Structure 1
Amino acid sequence: MAFKMMFSVALLLSLWSTAGCDFFVEGVLRLECHDRYFMIAVDLAATGEVPRFEAVDGTGTYAITEHYAAKCGYSISILSLLGLVELRASYFSCHTEKGADFSFRFNLITSYKGIDAYYALNKTCSPPLPWSPREVTCEVNYMEVSVRNELPCQSGLSDGWSTLGPLDSPSTEDWQVTFQNPDERLPPMNLSQARQQGYIFDLVHDRIVFRTPYGQPDSYRTEVTGVPVEVVHATVFSRKSWVFVMVDLIAACSKDEGSYDSGYMIWGTPEALYPSLGKTQISFGLNGNLMEQAAAVQKGFIMKRYNSTVQIGIPYNAEGGYRKSFVSDGLFEFYIFDLYLKQTSVDERHEETVLWFHRNLVTPLLSSPLITEDQTDVEDGTFSINLGKVPRDVELTSVQLNGQEFAVPFSDSIAYTLTEVRHSNQSHSYTLKVPLHDPIVIQEFSKENAAMLHKLDINYTLIVTPGDEPYYHTISVTALKAVSPPSFDVVCTESGIDFKLAYRSFDYLWDFTIGSDRLTPALAANRGYTMSNDSQSLLLSVPLFTHGYKYTDIGLKGFLGTFTILVRESETADILTSTIKTCLFNTTEFIMCSTNGWMTVVVDLSAVPSDERPAHFHLVNSLCVPKEVDGARVLFSFPLHSCGSTVELAKENVTYQNKIYFDTSENAVEGMTVQCMYPLASLHRLFSSHKFESDEEGVGNIIPFVETTKAVPATVTPTKITTTVAPQITRSPSLHRPPFYPTARYIKVYRVHNQPGQFSKGPKGNFQVKKLLHYA
């Protein structure tokens, strides 16, 4: 009962409205003659409000109210799901002109902005089927029975039956009616009293007609084979002189409201409401259209007989049914069916009885869940979510993504798309696409999966139309995308190596280091790199001979310089990958001061005239000769503590120095002074036998000099100190003769303060060793 009331309210709230009242166009108004009734259908969208009807005859106009309709043979249905109002009028209705044919006259009243408009509707119908001896109509709001008039001596009774005509005709005391029920026989009343109680009796040609609304005091409810039935049993009788005439009028209609089971609306009626010699014949359909049983079965309908009951099964999605969505703590749907059924039986006198049923069947509220399908293609880099099975009368109005709301349809200015597809099953779907790396998507690194977790919370707002009751459908979708550490694009230049990285949204997960030092703007500035870093990209230019290079295959024709950027996990500092670039460089002159105590130098002596150019070059120790000679260019590579090198200690630096000699005359020597200077703070081991350790490469200088007397290499015998070191270059020098590497004199170096007797102030205020150490 509660649902019926809710459904009625829903129907009233869902009526469509529109401007204008000129609705007489094709498809807006239909006037149709059916087997036993006349129908008017009006488009609600054209009327502005629910239209009203008046019946018209020679005596005037009569408003068809709810009570008057049930009494006089009219039924009005508001089919808001189809946007229609239907009026059905029985051929025996009160104001019908009943001649050879049946003529109907109505006024249709519409209202627009408080102004009523009247339209006259007229139609004459000829029943397509002959009348059976007894016919019963079970309408939605009344019962009507007509029987063939077989009264004897009709000519003598015609005046009496004429009083059964128009409602305002005076009744006669000759004719009375009595009602019966299983418990008692009620006292008779005359026809005028019966009319006052809502009963109608009429004589139409050769048929006696009786009509009553449902629920009259004189009708009764019973069950026949388990089906609720309403019955009214009226007996009309008259006695004139010695002649007694009695007519039995019985109307019995199934009051089954139907039930829903496994996708079918089931409705039943007793097979033998009236005496029958055999099984009744059944044909049925929807909306006034009858089908034979075989045709109905082909369309999915079910008809079966059980325990003397005829059961009709209507599939929930049957063509001709009406569907409506409903929001009530969820999304629901219900279906409405206008069942039309004809039941024919034959009694022992071989007289036909035909029952015509009109029944509005409504399913209970059925859950109507939406279907969400995650169609995300991680490789495509886009969330793709399909919201499906959306009923046709439900529309999407907005979408909320991680708390940010967007109206539908989407604006062209956003990066998301929403596509609607309509389907043949009266539903539609929406496909939402959002880029995985869009800022609105929550992104987190999942250590468990070693992948980037993308998360999107979606809240769809939908409404049932017509109406504005919202329904919210929420879903959370995630996508795991494997992430790889970044890789730089690298280019070799004449003066160094350039590294470029286009940032991805998750590159914040990694740290970039040069060795163990994190790459920062401060580190780059300190080491002489050029660094540009913003939200889009990282650019790093590493000049040749700056800290971090490794040099191999050094020769006069060039050398290989390798620079490495390590990619580490931010939290653990574990090395995940690296970008290593090796480039071929070719410079006329250069000097390299390695971290493991080697000096490698290439000098160009082209300033010396070719005819005077000596054939032999050497260092302070004349046994130390070039590794390679190419005309005016020579290559030396030797340990810092060999070949006659000297070392000078200052407050912050230590400098190793040697000289490259070549003769220009008998008394003059020209050459180049070569130096490697290391900061004391970076040194781990300063003097030991064949050992040297430094965190940083030294800074070298090549300085020309001229001496008038040849230098004689000094020889010293230093004390040997043994230490351990891991060499960092891959190639040892190859001299023309095996070099002699003498041990070094031990000198203790203090970094913090001067020790008396070991250091003295130099002319510039720097601490210096009292005398130079010479290596043979």
Structure 2
Amino acid sequence: MAFGFCLCLALLLSVWSTIICDQIPNGFHHMECRDRYFMIAVDLSFAGNEPRFEAVDGTGVYPITKQYAAVCGYTVSVLPLQGQVELRASYFSCHTDNKDDEVFSFNFNLLTNHDGMEVTYGLNKTCSPSLPWSPREVTCEMNYMEVSVRSDVACPTGTRRDDWNAAAQTAYTSATSDWQVMFQTAEEQLMPMDLSDAHKQGYVFDLTDGRLVFRTPYGQPDSFSAEVNGVPVEVVHATLFSRQSWVVLMVDLVAACSMYERSYDDHGYMMWETPEVLHPLVSGLHDTHVNIGVNGELVEEPVAEERGYIVAKHNSTLRISIPYNAEGAYRKSVVNGDLYEYYIFHLYLEQISMDGDHVDTRLRLHRTLATPLLQRPVFTENRTVPEERTFTVYLGNVPEDVELSGGELNEHKCAVPFTNASGHTFAKVAYPNNTHGYILKVPFDDPVVIQQFSKEDESMKHMLDINYTLTVLPENESYYHLASVMALTDVSPPEFDAVCSESGIRFKLDHRPYDYMWYISIGSDLLTPELAAQHGYIMSNNSRSLLLEVPLFTFGYEYKDISLKGFIGTFEILIRDHEKSEVQRSTIKTCQFASTELIMCSTDGRMTVVADLSLANPSGRIPARTNLNDKYCGPKEADDTRALFSFPLNSCGSIIKLGKEYVTYENEILFSKNHALKNPLASSSEIDGVKMQCTYPLEGLHRLFSAYRFESDAVGVGRIVHPAHSTKELQRPMEFIAVLQTPMPATRRTRPVLVKPGYRGNVQHIKVPRYLMNPSKGVAGSS
């Protein structure tokens, strides 16, 4: 009782004052009774940046400062990763109401600053430990050591006889009726002191109904450090004694805790070590058992194994290994030039051992394990499929407390999320391991993408430099990750845009840097300014584009569906490669044209004519009644003023005029048989009809209807001559060396109304070289 009395005198530090407290709203705090302590956790969002606690008992209110907490059995920790401030109070802490070591009542105040005003909140709880007390209990808290022993524990056999004898001798010679304490270090025994003096130095001794409690902060002058199996251990060895008459009462109290800092390996483990035997009076050599927990709560052994917690024994040293990312660990991203991370694990360890007297000791230890800064590289992966013509870039391994807030694409700033008009997309992908990634998509043809033709690869190179802006939360620290991606695509041959006009077709080609890989042709001929002038095309070419206007009826057109209403004209431009001159692409444009008159001279020897007969028909005769030189060759279609004829060149009485360089086929549209051509050599001025001519260059002809075939490399040049035209206009700038007329049948042939198919009669075979070699001999008719 004297011991308890002395302690109470030492704790009369303040007087009671009445404080009116508010209540903390629900959801912002949590209070829990654990096996050996009481815990309060308050959200930092409510408590603020500088929360403070006060202990309250019947004697007053006591601010829990850092030093006061270590002396009185409190541990206050601000845990930013958990977003909490936590208070742990030992069941034997200074201001706890203890009833028979079974019921413990706590009263605390939380002081916060809200809107510049300090507000006090009352927190109280009554706890009953669910676990029975062991004969000897040692707690190694973050800021203090505490040992409690049952009052009826016998003198331990672990104390060395010399140490015990020396302590007893000192106690006997200096003992008084008041309790005193004597500290022993590894080298010597210090002089005894009264408990009041010990309390002034930060030591607390308390006697409850059934236990003797001793508590001391770390680093006290009377503590000493020892190295056990290479592990640093802090030890405080105190002997309490009191002399009653001739009897000296002595109690040996030893607090010993491993001070191993921490270590880590390259395999992703945080490690902590403690000797199996910290001190002979703390832990014994028999039946040592270890349990691991986190955040002040032990877990069952199967759960610990599932989480990857490892306890290994090596040379009487226990090594605890915790994976960085194990359940219960906390991680934090940090920007320090690069992106780093560190892990924190709040280790809770229980070590149960039994000494030679079969007295078990239960040691509970709180330690915070933390890794150094570890590089946390995010990575980019180019997932682009060139055929999709879109950059697909994956940014991965992004921690959960880091988010993408913006970036630059080829130095063009962009915010996240992108606007719909930008054409860029970002998709977030989350993973079970608390990481996430982002998928960026940018089309190749987006204005921000740099495009450059690679002569070496003969491909188009698309380039995108990406500067990701990543923000670490909640500090909003920015980290920049750079990535460059490139894709090659096969370059496509150029392609013209084409539009129809009344007079022909217009083609336009926008130049590209790599268009030199191909050339443009009309048929097999290379398109050049000279070729365009030769065929009557209108061409302009500058650094930006090529414009080509192809008038109707010029070289290169194909015609079909010819009627009086109109016809379809098609023109084709070819793109060829230089190496093999193979066609790589073609631009074909087909247009519907209308024409009052037209004449077409095909390469296979057919003349097609739509002629306006109004000038040759002053008396109002019907065009459907017209015919060619062969009166049995009538029109295929006719209206009030026009007629359509289509016939082989070697039929219908066509006249063949052969010159040195050209051959001309001529026929005439007549209204009656009286106007039929009597003399093929007669002057054209005597004919009351409409003349039609098709002229072909001899150098392009392969056959002149030999074996009923006509072959020409090019279409002929057609001409329609009305009777009102002068004779001079009909003449061609050439000298004819032969004039022939195709045979006409003597009997009438039946023909459908308005339509008469062409007739292929027997034709004089003309060998062109003979006439070219003998220009002086004219031929006047058929043989």
Q: Same fold (TM over 0.5)?
A: yes
AA paired with 2:252? D
Cα distance between partner residues in 2 of 1:105 and 1:492: 95
* 1:734-772 CA-partner distances (Å, limit 9, x unpaired): 9833458645999xxxxxxxxxxxxxxxxxxxxxxxxxx
Match for residue 427 of structure 1? Answer: 435
Query: Cα offset for 1:472?
Result: 0.8
Superposed counterparts of 1:252-291, under 5 Å: 252-261=256-265, 262-275=267-280, 276-291=284-299
Normalising to structure 2: TM-score of the pair? 0.72
* 1:95-134 Cα distance to aligned partner (Å, 9 max, x none): 1122232111111101023210001111111122222221
Q: Deviations over 1:287-342 (max 9, x none)?
A: 12112434311322111111101111112222222111111121111111111111
Alignment of 1:579-594 (within 5 A): 579=587, 590=598
Change (3 A) 1:614 1:201: closer
Superposed displacement of residue 401, structure 1: 0.8
CA change 1:420–1:319 in 2 (3 A) is: same
What corresponds to 1:652 in structure 2?
none
Aligned equivalents of 1:309 and 1:562: distance in 2? 94
Gaps of 5+ in 1: 1-20, 153-170, 619-624, 646-656, 719-732, 747-772
Q: Larger deviation: 214-223 or 137-146?
A: 214-223
Quick one: distance in 1 between partners of 2:626 and 2:98?
A: 144
Higher alpha-carbon deviation: 663-672 or 66-75: 663-672
Contact kept? 2:150, 2:212, Cα under 8 Å: yes
Quote the residue 1:210 is aligned against: 214
- Give the corresponding residue for 1:410: 418
Offset at residue 660 of structure 1 (A): 6.2
Whole-angstrom distance in 1 between the partners of 2:194 and 2:597: 137
Partner of 1:12: none
Q: Is the 8 A contact 1:626 1:636 kept in 2?
A: no
1:54 and 2:76 equivalent? no
1:27 pairs with 2:27? yes
Distance 2:714 2:627 in 1: 43
Which residue type is aligned with residue 271 of structure 1?
E
Relative distance call for 1:775 and 1:346 in structure 2 (3 A) is same
Which runs of structure 2 are paired with 1:137-216 in the superposition (5 Å)? Answer: 137-150=139-152, 174-216=178-220
Classify the secondary structure of the residue corresponding to 1:184: coil
Equivalent residue number for residue 654 of structure 1: none
Which amino acid counterpart does residue 272 of structure 1 have in structure 2? V
Q: Contact 2:655–2:666 (CA<8 Å) still a contact in 1?
A: no
User: 1:69 matched to which residue of 2?
Assistant: 69
Give CA-to-partner distance per residue, 1:429-475, whole Å, 9 cap, x none: 22211112211111223344443222211111111111122111111
Pick the aligned partner of 1:517 from 508, 522, 527: 527
Q: Is the 8 A contact 1:613 1:664 kept in 2?
A: no
TM alignment of 1:600-639, pairs within 5 A: 615=630, 627-629=649-651, 639=658
- The 3-state SS of whatever aligns with 1:704 is coil
1:702 and 2:721 are equivalent in the alignment: yes
The correspondence of residues 327-406 of structure 1 with structure 2, limited to 5 A, is 327-406=335-414
Q: Secondary structure at the match of 2:70?
A: helix
Q: Return the alpha-carbon distance in structure 1 between the equivalents of residues 73 and 315 of structure 2.
A: 33
Alpha-carbon distance in structure 2 between the residues aligned to 1:116 and 1:475: 50
Shift, 1:207, TM fit: 1.5
Cα separation, 1, equivalents of 2:263 and 2:382: 36
Question: Cα gap change, 1:29/1:546 in structure 2, threshold over 3 Å: closer, same or farther?
Answer: same
Alignment partners' CA distance in 2, 1:603 and 1:338: 101
Change in CA separation of 1:669 and 1:511 when aligned onto 2, cut-off 3 Å: closer
Residue type of the alignment partner of 1:265: M
Q: Is the 8 A contact 1:555 1:635 kept in 2?
A: no
CA distance in 2, matches of 1:267, 1:122: 35
Q: Which amino acid aligns with 2:333?
A: S
Q: Which residue of 1 aligns with 2:574?
A: 566
What does the per-residue CA deviation read over 1:591-639, in whole Å, with 9 as the maximum and x for residues that have no partner?
Answer: 56999xx997858697587699754899xxxxxx983445xxx766655
* Aligned partner of 1:236 among 240, 260, 265: 240
Between stretches 134-143 and 371-380, larger displacement belongs to: 371-380
Tell me if the contact between 1:372 and 1:388 (Cα under 8 Å) persists in the aligned partners: yes
Match of 2:764 among 732, 737, 742: 737
CA distance in 2, matches of 1:494, 1:413: 40
**1:729: which partner in 2?**
none
Question: 1:219: which partner in 2?
Answer: 223
Match runs of 1:46-125 below 5 Å: 46-100=46-100, 101-125=103-127
Greater Cα shift, 474-483 or 567-576: 567-576
For the residue of structure 2 that corresponds to 1:85, the secondary structure is strand
Do the aligned residues in 2 keep the contact of 1:282 with 1:293 (CA within 8 Å)? no
Residues 201 and 35 from structure 1, CA distance in 2 versus in 1: closer, same or farther, beyond 3 angstroms? same
Q: CA deviation digits over 1:169-208, x for unaligned, max 9?
A: xx98832222212222222222222122111111122222
Q: 1:329 to 1:274 in 2, by over 3 A?
A: same
SS of 2:421's partner is: coil
Q: Helix, strand or coil for the counterpart of 2:222?
A: coil
CA 1:371–1:524: 2 relative to 1, 3 Å:
farther
Q: Percent identity?
A: 51
SS at match of 1:409: coil
Q: 1:585–1:321: structure 2 CA closer, same or farther, 3 Å change rule?
A: closer
Q: Relative to 1, partners in 2 of residues 1:492 and 1:113: Cα closer, same or farther, differing over 3 Å?
A: closer
> Equivalent residues in 2 for 1:642-657 (5 A)?
none
Please give the alpha-carbon distance, in whole angstroms, between the structure 1 residues aligned to 2:660 and 2:369: 108
Distance 1:32 1:642, change over 3 A: closer
> What's the offset of the Cα at 1:411?
2.1
* Secondary structure, aligned partner of 1:342: strand
SS in 2 for 1:281: strand
Distance 1:487 1:439 in 2: 21
Structure 1 Cα separation of the partners of residues 305 and 384 of structure 2: 43
Shift of 1:24: 2.9
Q: Who is 1:17 aligned against?
A: none
Alpha carbons of structure 1 residues 87 and 636: separation in structure 2 relative to 1, 3 Å = farther
Distance 1:403 1:572 in 2: 43
Contact 1:599 1:640 in 2 (8 A): no
Partner AA of 2:764 in structure 1 = R
Please tell me whether the aligned partners of residues 599 and 676 of structure 1 are also in contact (alpha carbons under 8 angstroms).
no
| Contact 2:464 2:484 survives alignment (8 Å) | yes
Match of 1:472 in 2: 480
1:503-542, aligned counterparts within 5 Å?
A: 512=520, 514=522, 515-517=525-527, 527=536, 542=550
Aligned residues of 1:644 and 1:658 also touching (Cα < 8 A)? no
1:602–1:635 contact (8 Å) kept in structure 2: no
Cα distance 1:559–1:323, how it changes in 2: closer, same or farther (>3 A)?
closer
Q: Which amino acid aligns with 1:249?
A: L
How far apart are the structure 1 equivalents of 2:302 and 2:95?
39
The two structures, once aligned, show a CA RMSD in angstroms of: 5.1
